[in-house]
Amino acid sequence: MTDRKVSRRDLLASGTAAAGALTAAQLFGSINIARAQAKKYKIAIVPKGLNNPVFKSADFGGQARSAELGDVDFKFIGPATSDAAQQVATVDGLISAGYDAIGISCDSSETLLQPIDRAVAKGIKVITWDSDSPSSKRSVFYGVDSFKGGQLQAKLLNGLLKGKKGDIWLLSGLQSAQNLEERIRGVKTVLSKDLTIAGTSFCNEDVALGVSQVENVLRAHPTLIGYIMIGAWPLFSSPGALPTLKARAKTGLQVVAFDYLEQELPFIVDGTVKASVGQDYWGWGYQSVTILHGLLQGKKYPAFVPQALPVVTTANVAEYQKKWDDSKTAAGMAAAFKEAPIEPS
């Protein structure tokens, strides 16, 4: 995992090179059977953006599974910052470079549809993880059921605010992200009738903007009793950055968040966030490689392979802190988050 920022042209160049190598291999195939059998599967995992810390775990997970399997040439590659068009370019580059299998966390389900179908048409195995492109020809979607994730968040808030009546607020990242919109939909179906959504802010997935929105909203609405963070962007700061949130949480505001990334755990430890619904970040890489490898070997999987939705609260937050402490290296993380590879159906 050295050069993660490979330009499209580099990929095209390596694609040509790979094609050349392939022709050579075919030419000498009969002579060099031993080498042909040692062929490695080229598997790429494509996150929405390399700068988002959650995806680092997917990288580690993919590395771990590739090492276990032994016959995988693993690549973690994507746009430097989240951008659907860049991601399309990345996928097209991977197609040209002759990859055997690609797993994608779709920045935009619609935008990625065509490149996914192009790849499938070339015989490349494609799955989506984390964020799906449901109408594409991808074989499998592996990730949490966002709708259920939202429902779980609402259920947790209902429990925390049992018997109370009042306004709550939602914070999301982008209006265009399908998984976030699904979570919001999930929240709305389950939220108790006593709780009213007074408003929703979108922070463009920008930490600083999220922080100022949360603070502004709380000041403007002194009567809010609940807050659901559809994603944890403001919490990627530190408790000191959100003094109003912290103070209000002490006097009855109930906050439910999403994810359990290392940076947001202090908010759970100090009681600002009462519960957070998580996903299996390491599994994004680990299980995606498992599934792609299985597909390449002719195994079958259901179209939707759901992830568990662990809930982190004050009670178990220490356990997660320990896991992250151990996760500074790929090997450490594999030990901390180890799980069994998914079995084909």
Partner 1 sequence: MRQTVTDSDAESAETDSPAVPVRRPSRVTEIIAIPWVGVLGVIVLLAIFMTVKTGPIFLSPDNLSSVALDFSYIAMAALGSAIVIIGGGIDLSVGANMALTGLLTALAISAGWPIPLAVAAGLVVGILAGALNAILITGIGLIPFIATLGTMSVFRGLGTGIVQGQTVNAANGFTVIGQGYWGPIPISAVILFVLTATTAFLMNNTAWGRHIYAVGGGESAARLCGINVKRVKWRMYIAASILGAIGGIVLAARLGSATPSNALGYELICIAAAVIGGASLTGGEGTMVGVLIGAALLALIRNSLDILGWGEYWQDLIIGAVILITVSFDQLRRRLRRV
Q: Which residues bind partner 1 (CB under 8 A)?
A: 4-5, 49-53, 55-56, 80-82, 175, 198-202, 204-209, 211-213, 215-217, 219-221, 236-241, 243-244, 261-263, 266
**What is the closest distance, in whole angstroms, from the C-beta atom of residue 40 to partner 1 in the complex?**
24
Nearer to partner 1, 71 or 262 (CB): 262
293 and 69 Cβ atoms separated by less than 8 Å: yes
**What is the closest distance, in whole angstroms, from the C-beta atom of residue 221 to partner 1 in the complex?**
8
Nearer to partner 1, 216 or 297 (CB): 216
Describe the crossing of helices 281-296 and 330-337 by its angle, rounded to 10 degrees. Answer: 90
Please name which of 336, 314, 331, 318 lies closest in space to residue 63, comparing C-alpha atoms: 331
**What is the closest distance, in whole angstroms, from the C-beta atom of residue 95 to partner 1 in the complex?**
24
CA–CA separation, 132 and 87 (whole Å): 14
Nearer to partner 1, 75 or 293 (CB): 75
Nearer to partner 1, 132 or 205 (CB): 205
Please name which of 223, 254, 252 lies closest in space to residue 157, comparing C-alpha atoms: 254
The CA distances from residue 269 to 78, 109, 255, in Å, are 33, 35, 13
Please name which of 149, 128, 102, 57 lies closest in space to residue 305, comparing C-alpha atoms: 128
**What is the closest distance, in whole angstroms, from the C-beta atom of residue 209 to partner 1 in the complex?**
8
CA–CA separation, 128 and 111 (whole Å): 13
**What is the closest distance, in whole angstroms, from the C-beta atom of residue 177 to partner 1 in the complex?**
13
Nearer to partner 1, 55 or 301 (CB): 55
**Helix residue spans in 161-235 (DSSP H):** 178-190, 207-220
Strands (E), the chain: 41-46, 72-76, 101-104, 125-129, 140-143, 166-172, 195-202, 226-229, 254-258, 275-277, 304-306, 311-313
**What is the closest distance, in whole angstroms, from the C-beta atom of residue 183 to partner 1 in the complex?**
16
Nearer to partner 1, 68 or 83 (CB): 83
**What is the closest distance, in whole angstroms, from the C-beta atom of residue 34 to partner 1 in the complex?**
37
Nearer to partner 1, 255 or 295 (CB): 255
Helix (H, G, I), strand (E, B) or coil at 147: helix
- 310: tokens are 């662990």
**What is the closest distance, in whole angstroms, from the C-beta atom of residue 340 to partner 1 in the complex?**
27
Describe the crossing of helices 281-296 and 54-69 by its angle, rounded to 10 degrees. Answer: 40
Nearer to partner 1, 98 or 150 (CB): 150
